[in-house]
Structure 1
Amino acid sequence: MAGPIVARTRAELVAARGASSVSFVPTMGALHDGHVQLLKHARPLGETLVASIFVNPTQFAPGEDYDDYPRTFDTDLERCAEAGVDVVFAPTVPVMYPSGLVDTVTVDPGPLGAILEGASRPTHFRGVLTVVAKLFGLVRPDVAVFGEKDFQQLTLIRQMARELALGVDVVGCPTVREADGLAMSSRNRYLSADERATAAAISAALRAGVAAAAGGPDAVLAAAHAVIDPADVDLDYLVLTDPELGPAVPGADARLLVAARVGRPRLLDNIGLTLGRPS
């Protein structure tokens, strides 16, 4: 089976993309089974499936792991071929930022970008939305698929596409998990064996929250917090919101989101649930 076309410049992307309908999966590489599921989900949504592989410097703050972020391009191409990708767009930083990494035109994420991940990483979502807007402009997809694991990111990208009238249907794909429940992430490789066992408490806390959903918001949060030992898991936040990241409403759909550090990596996870009304 022939592998995907690799486009590294804007001109090569235009030539490879053609005139057909396009489904698109942006990635930073280091592809795992979760990425493969995103690609397979996107495969039937367009005539041409494009994946991008680009470690975006503007979404990393000083001191974060930009330089150490895993880069496994040859293996990534194999995984793309496995999933039926037609074109891999793998630009360099100058291709994506021809004016340099300067604050010229960027995308402001607005109020939703200042909470949760935005509170801990104030410049993160500006970098994410700016690069995704650039990628949408270059790839010109009809549909773009993102994982629900990064739920705040997915919500903000949907909002950006809608409010800026970008003409892209942004689709969420359910989180793919390891056998122990840990959400798949490129940063999981930073975990030692002992840390990996400890990190399983994060998804266990979400499941406990779901099991307590009939009791309403307070019951959900109490059940989830009870699973996490702060001596082992450095919890950043464990919050309950509505599906648009606003206040959770008893008797309605909600989202339970968590961010925590176990050893070196900062791990994100979330789960959907329907809240009961406490008596």
Structure 2
Amino acid sequence: MLTTINLLDVIAISMKAGEQIMDVYHSDFAVENKEDKSPLTLADKKSHEVIASELKRLFPKMPVLSEEGKHLPYEERKNWEYLWVVDPLDGTKEFVKRNGEFTVNIALVHKGYPVLGVIYAPILDTIYFAKEGAGSFKIKGVEAVNLRNEAELISHSEKLSSRELNQEMAVVASRSHMSPETEAYINKIQGKYGKVTITSAGSSLKLCLVAEGKADVYPRFAPTMEWDTAAGQAIVEQAGGKVVQTESKERLSYNKENLLNPWFIVKKGSLMDE
């Protein structure tokens, strides 16, 4: 099934959603609050509509689990072998702040684990993407528009590696969610590796920084949902990194009964368990 999916199709969907987001970004948009107090804008809704309709058109047999879509009961979801896990606008807080650190996240999950991921950052005009067996890559959106096939896409993209540690340990943390537990973990890293540089970033760009080697570790001791991480996990893992639960040390998994992620750590492949 994975071999029949063209990354260019998924990238095109993410960019189409990005156009909808940018139309709202450049307007005087309103901000609502969902039941969990997280922000919601017209951009979230319009991006979801584009992604859901395009995925259904191209892949009619594959269900879609989107942050802004209808969430079916686990009894209906549990037997899905493949599904799309989508965050139409990851980093809505960053979108509202207009700092550019928001993304479109689209992942394909197979038997609980992501095997394909696309993350598009409209303001940065940058696409991160990965496919199991092919690796992880980065390309400017403007460069991807006229490419004709997946092989051409890969040959024109920068291959990502998340294996070797930087000379000075680099930690990336959430711009909007720095918890006491995260600070304690950073202190622990500092005690083991010496001087640590800390970078703040919004949305799934934190996982992308680990995937491309700019950060060595991203600890997340604050709430996230499956759609926040699925695409990023695919990109990190195909670059040679890891996304592991803090308690069990197992890979983060998807389409669970509870769609809330446990605490996790994203790290380069050569970083030992802490």
User: Would the TM-score normalized by the shorter structure come out above 0.5?
Assistant: no
Higher Rg of the two aligned structures: 1
More strand per residue: 1 or 2?
2
TM-score (ref. length: structure 1)? 0.30
TM-score (ref. length: structure 2)? 0.30
More helix per residue: 1 or 2?
1
